[in-house]
Structure 1
């Protein structure tokens, strides 16, 4: 069985229908039971908050807060995400929360943040995730901009191929990321990069070809998303193209000083970005161009991108030996 088929079968319980806006707390509890929240990835009985020591707050959103914590029994550092589930009166927010649990449970790849377990406690959903101890790619890009120190060709391919590998695994399991950007690429020891923050991902059944909901971060949104048109896997490819451009130049292809959402949207839909700097390897220039195409049908597939990027990485590494 192909890897994509295996992952898709394992993900068959992921929600594909909108949650009702009048769904009650009791119904929601039942839904979580059916999703096996309360067991770890290994199938063991779940922990509780008493099994963790919270060591600091990482960040927070409208309904959630993320902490770094330590599991008492194993001593392992983890990211612990607490979600005020029953404060989510909006059906979409609840559906995205359910989706995040299902999505994380389905994915097992070195370049994707690993789901460890989830449980309900004190009317909150607690999701325990692998901890990436070196921050995220956005922070690294900020440091490089401050130092005016661009990535070398080898560094760019090393980063990019890992992001591609994680995204290929997701697409193989019929899952889109839908919010691919530097702050959602996490760094761990040994130079390993991991895709994370999959709360906006959506499971695609075999009959689902496109979706319509407008999500994502404006600088990395595809033209079809900006125009609120249906979009598919190639929308992730567009975001991947933006990320490669930023690795080369240390800025988003559509960043303009003093711009606004309207002007940004016009730039994206017209594919208006500055050419890559002189001296950029031809393979990088072509790959960016082949991902940042206005027509989604003209963009490369993630398989094609991975194949080309790996070849370029091998050649670049061979040249510096």
Structure 2
């Protein structure tokens, strides 16, 4: 039996905009799952009943990159160069695959990068993602993502493209 992570939402607590984002996240996860990448978290199941809506995802035993940064930091600060190369390569592969599906993540940060048991890194949490099939780049404005990790065009409230995930 596999261990899973569950994102569970009480339906009565969701606003109309939250429901819209949740449905968009599910659509993104369906596309990501259909076009498997070892660097993107797939959806295992999605289900709803009268009270709850839930998305089941794989459990990654290595935790988050944020945890790794705190626990494995070198004495002089930061991670070892070899670790940084591994992280960069995994995240770049994940973003390239995601952008190939015309999806922007829009919230790349250490908390949204999970660590697999084999030491590879996986992008997760597509709750703020934008599917360009549903909204063209010309319509992507506003401040989605986490303050402190925003790209310059997000700060300036400019039109956003794939570059928002790389900055």
Question: Considering the TM-score relative to the shorter chain, is it more than 0.5?
Answer: yes
Which runs of structure 1 show a deviation greater than 6 angstroms over 4 or more consecutive aligned residues?
A: none
Highest CA radius of gyration, 1 or 2?
A: 1
Q: Which has the higher contact order (CA 8 A, sep 6+)?
A: 2
Please identify which structure carries the higher helix content. 1
CA positional deviation for 1:149: 5.0
1:115 aligns to what SS in structure 2? coil
How many equivalent pairs are there?
Answer: 163
CA positional deviation for 1:150: 3.5
Q: CA RMSD in A?
A: 1.8
2: CA distance between counterparts of 1:141 and 1:231? 29
Equivalent in the alignment of 2:4: 78
2:87 aligns to what SS in structure 1? helix
Equivalent in the alignment of 1:102: 27
Q: TM-score, normalised by structure 1?
A: 0.48
2: CA distance between counterparts of 1:207 and 1:83? 25
2: CA distance between counterparts of 1:179 and 1:216? 4
* Cα separation, partners in 2 of 1:206 and 1:113, compared to 1, 3 Å: closer
1:26-66 deviations in whole A, cap 9, x for unaligned? xxxxxxxxxxxxxxxxxxxxxxxxxxxxxxxxxxxxxxxxx
1:273-315 deviations in whole A, cap 9, x for unaligned? xxxxxxxxxxxxxxxxxxxxxxxxxxxxxxxxxxxxxxxxxxx
Equivalent in the alignment of 1:12: none
1:100 aligns to what SS in structure 2? helix
CA positional deviation for 1:144: 3.5
Equivalent in the alignment of 1:120: 48
**Structure 1 residues 82-231: aligned runs within 5 Å:** 82-89=8-15, 91-107=16-32, 108-145=36-73, 147-205=75-133, 208-210=136-138, 211-231=140-160
CA positional deviation for 1:92: 2.1
1: CA distance between counterparts of 2:89 and 2:147? 24
Unaligned 5+ runs, structure 1: 1-74, 239-321
Contact 2:4 2:58 in 1 (8 A): yes
Q: TM-score, normalised by structure 2?
A: 0.90
Unaligned 5+ runs, structure 2: none
2:137 aligns to what SS in structure 1? coil
